[in-house]
Structure 1
Amino acid sequence: MDHTTKSIAYVRTEETPRSAPPSKSGGVGGWLKENLFATPRDTVLTIITFLVLLWIIPPVIDWAFISAVWTGDNREACIGPDTGACWAFVDAKFGQFIYGRYPLEERWRVNLAGLLLVAGLVPIAIPSVPYKRENALYLLIVFPVLAFILLTGQFGLKPVETPLWGGLLVTLVVAIVGIVVSFPLGILLALGRRSHMPIVKMFCVIFIEFWRGVPLITVLFMSSVMLPLFLPDGVSFDKLLRALIGVALFSSAYMAEVIRGGLQAIPKGQYEAANAMALTFWQGTRLVIMPQALKLVIPGIVNTFIGLFKDTSLVLIIGLFDLLGIVQQNMTDPNWISPVTPATGFVFAAFVFFIFCFGMSRYSAYMERRLDTGHKR
C-alpha cells in the first residue's frame, strides 16, 4: 500500500462535527445538577437551604421595605401593630450618624476631607493608573496634613473640638489611622522578631506578646483613664489622640504576626539569592523578600484590617461616639422611642459596616487574583 493510500485510509481531513452536550450536563439543567443536585446529600442540603431561605427572606423583605415607615416627624409615625422598620428615624438622624455633633455649618470641611481621601484612594487602587509613588506620598504626607487642618480648624477655620466629632467620621478616623500606622509598624516588628540581634528580638517579642495578651477594651480604658495619671502636671493628650495611639499599637502587634507568617513561608533560597546579588539586608528585604511575603498574607492582612474597622465601636467605652455609639445614643431620644427604633438603628449600622468590610474583602480578592503567579498546588 503506497503513501497516498495510507493517508486516505488513516488520516481524517475534516473535523468531526461537534455534538450537542448531553441534556443533563448543558444549560440551566446541567448547572443545577452539577452544583445543587449532584448527589443525594447535595439534593437534601439544597432543599433544606431553599426552605430556610423561603422562611426567612419574605418576612425580612416585608419588615425592611413593604411595612416600613419611610417618612415621619416623630415616634408616632413608627408606632403601630404591623409597623416595619422605622427608616424615618434614620432619615431624621442621618446627619448625626455621619458627623456626630460636628457643627452643621462646618460639615463641608468633613465632606471636603472625604473627597480628598477618595481622590487619593481611587487612583492608587487602580493598577493601570500611573504615578503610584506620588500618589502614595500624597496619601501618607499631604492628605493627613490637609485633613488635620480641615477637621480641627487651623489657618483661620473655626476650631472644632474632638468631643464634637462622632458617627461615621470617628469610625473612619480611628480605622484609617490604625491601618496606616499599624501596617509599617507591623512590618518592622515582624522583621525585628526574626532578627539575629538579641536585644532587638527581645524587645519585639515583649511588645507583640504584651499587646496581644490584653483585650482592646482594656487598652482603650488604660489610654483614656490611666495614662493621664502618669503624665506630668499640665501635660495632657486629646482623648481621641490617646485612642488612636492605643488602637494603632494594639493592631500593629497582630499585623506583625501575620507578616511574620509570610516571611517564614519564603524559601531559604530566596534569601540566599538576595545575598548572592550583593544586596544589603534592607535592599534584599525591600526588593526580594517583602513583596513575596506580603503577597502570601494578603488574606491575613485584610482580615486584620476588617477586624480593626469593626473594633472601632469599642471607643464608646471612653466616651467617643462612633457610628454604633451615636446610633445607640439617638435611640434614647424621646421623640423617636418606639418598639422598632432599636432594630432599625442596629440594622442601619450593620449595613454601613458591612459595606466597608465587604469592599475591603472584594478588593483583596481582586489583588490576590492579579498577583497570582501560578504557583498554586
Structure 2
Amino acid sequence: MAIYEKIAAKPAPLSTKGPIHWIRENLFPSPLSSILTLMSLYFLYLVLPPLLNWMIFDATWTGTKEEITNHGARWIFIIEKFNQFIYGFYPEEFYWRPNLVLFIFTVYVFAFKYIDTLKMKIFIIATFPVIAFILISGGLGLEHVETEKWGGLLLTIIVASVGIIASFPIGILFALGRQSKMPIIKTISVMYIEFIRGVPLITLLFMSSVILPLFFPEGMDFNKLLRALIGITLFQAAYIAEVIRGGLQAIPKGQYEASDAMGLSYWQSMGLIILPQALKISIPNIVGSFIALFKDTTLILIIGLFDILAMVTLTNSDTNWLGFETEGYVFVTMIYWAICFSMSKYAKSIEDRFNTNHK
C-alpha cells in the first residue's frame, strides 16, 4: 500500500473564486455598500424598462411621418436625415472622399499602436491631415468643395483631429519653455499658457473669426474653418503644455543627471530619455484633454459652422420634420459617447503596451 495517495485536483470554493466571490467583494462588501447596491438595482429597474421600450421595442424604424402611431422613438427621422448628420451639405456624389479618409484614419490608428520608431510616428501624425484636406477639399485634380459645405460628423472629426494633432507639438514646446532656465523664453511661455487658460474657448473662437483677419495683409483672407482651427489649436496647446509639464516634473532627477553623465545635449536628452517617459506618464491626462476638446468642438456653431450637434437644430427647421429634437439629441449623444469611449479604450491599450513597471 502506497504511503502517499494521489489526490485529484478540486476547483477552488465559490467563496474564494468565481462570480459569487466577485459579487460579495464588489457589490456587498459592507452593509453600506449593500444598501447602495440594492438602491442602484432598484433605480435600474425603474429606468431601464421604459428606456428600452422607448428606444427599441416601441420605436418606429420604417414608414413615413404620417404613419407613426406609437409613443416610442421615431428613428425614421434619423434614417431620413442620416447623410446630413454625417456629411452636412457635402455633395453626395463625393461621399467616397470622406469615406476614404475614414478608412485611412482607421489604418493609421491600428498602425500607430504597433510602430516603435519615433520618426515613423511623427510622419504618420503629420501626413494624415494633409491627405485628409487634399481628399475632402479637392486637390491633385479633384473637384474643389468649399469648406462652407462641410458639416455634421465630418466637420466635427476634422476640427477635433486637426486641433489634437497641431496642438500636441506646440504644447510640448511651451511645456519645455516653461521649464527653461532662459528668463525670456520662460516668461513668454508662462504668459501664453496662463492667458489662454484664463479665457474660455468661445472667446478665442470669436477672436480668431473677427480679430485675427485684422492682422492679415490687405487682400489676404482665410475662411471661417481655418480661423476656427487656429483658435482651437492655440487653446488646446496651452492645456497640453500643462499636462506635459506635469509629466516632466514626475521624472526623477536622476534621469536628468544620467543623461548629463552620458554627454547628451539638451535636445538629445529630451528626445531620447526625458520626453518619452513624461509622455508615457501623461497619457491619461493627455487623452482627457483630447476628449474634452472633441466635445468642445460644438462651440464652432457660434461662428457659423455646423457640426453634428448643430445639425439637430438645422434638420428640425425642415417643415416636414418638425418636433424631432429629442431623437436627434439622443442620436448625437450616442455618437459622442461611442467616439469618446473608443478614444479612452485606445489610449488605455497604448498605456498598457508601453507600461514598463516591474511588478
The question of 1:108 aligning with 2:100 is answered: no
Q: 1:130 to 1:258 in 2, by over 3 A?
A: closer
Q: How does 1:77-92 map to 2 (within 5 A)?
A: 77-78=67-68, 80=69, 82-92=70-80
Shift of 1:48: 0.5
| Contact map agreement 2:125 2:165 (CA 8 A) in 1 | no
2-structure distance, mates of 1:39, 1:151: 57
| Contact map agreement 1:25 1:34 (CA 8 A) in 2 | no
Q: 1:61 is matched by which residue type in structure 2? A: L
Which residue among 66, 71, 90 is the counterpart of 1:76?
66
Q: 2:243 is matched by which residue type in structure 1? A: V
Shift of 1:18: 5.7
2-structure distance, mates of 1:95, 1:13: 74
Q: 1:245 to 1:15 in 2, by over 3 A?
A: farther
Q: How does 1:72-151 map to 2 (within 5 A)?
A: 72-73=63-64, 75-78=65-68, 80=69, 82-125=70-113, 127=114, 133-134=119-120, 136-141=122-127, 143-151=128-136
Shift of 1:373: 2.5
When the two chains are superposed, the root-mean-square deviation of aligned CA atoms in Å is 2.1
Shift of 1:156: 2.8
Aligned residue for 2:81, secondary structure, equals helix
Q: 1:375 to 1:77 in 2, by over 3 A?
A: farther
Shift of 1:235: 1.8
Which residue among 178, 187, 192 is the counterpart of 1:202?
187
Q: 1:180 to 1:23 in 2, by over 3 A?
A: closer
2-structure distance, mates of 1:23, 1:260: 48
Partner in structure 2 of residue 284 of structure 1: 269
Bigger Rg, structure 1 or 2: 1
Shift of 1:130: 7.4
2-structure distance, mates of 1:310, 1:303: 11
1-structure distance, mates of 2:175, 2:312: 38
Q: 1:203 to 1:54 in 2, by over 3 A?
A: same
Q: 1:176 to 1:27 in 2, by over 3 A?
A: closer
Q: 1:281 to 1:130 in 2, by over 3 A?
A: closer
Shift of 1:337: 1.2
Shift of 1:372: 2.4
Partner in structure 2 of residue 8 of structure 1: none
| Contact map agreement 1:124 1:136 (CA 8 A) in 2 | no
Question: Mind listing any 5+ residue stretches in structure 2 that lack a counterpart?
Answer: none
Q: 1:259-286 CA distances to partner (integer Å, 9 max, x unpaired)? A: 0001011111110000000000000111
1-structure distance, mates of 2:138, 2:17: 64
1-structure distance, mates of 2:331, 2:270: 44
Aligned residue for 2:126, secondary structure, equals helix
2-structure distance, mates of 1:154, 1:371: 38
Partner in structure 1 of residue 211 of structure 2: 226
Q: TM-score, normalised by structure 1?
A: 0.89
Question: Mind listing any 5+ residue stretches in structure 1 that lack a counterpart?
Answer: 1-11
Which residue among 292, 296, 306 is the counterpart of 1:311?
296
Q: 1:14 to 1:188 in 2, by over 3 A?
A: farther
Partner in structure 2 of residue 55 of structure 1: 46
Q: How does 1:238-317 map to 2 (within 5 A)?
A: 238-317=223-302
Which residue among 174, 178, 181 is the counterpart of 1:189?
174
| Contact map agreement 1:270 1:289 (CA 8 A) in 2 | yes
| Contact map agreement 1:25 1:33 (CA 8 A) in 2 | no
Aligned residue for 1:154, secondary structure, equals coil
1-structure distance, mates of 2:329, 2:211: 31
1-structure distance, mates of 2:223, 2:341: 32
Q: Percent identity?
A: 50
Q: 1:373 is matched by which residue type in structure 2? A: T
Shift of 1:366: 1.7
Shift of 1:331: 1.8
The question of 1:327 aligning with 2:312 is answered: yes
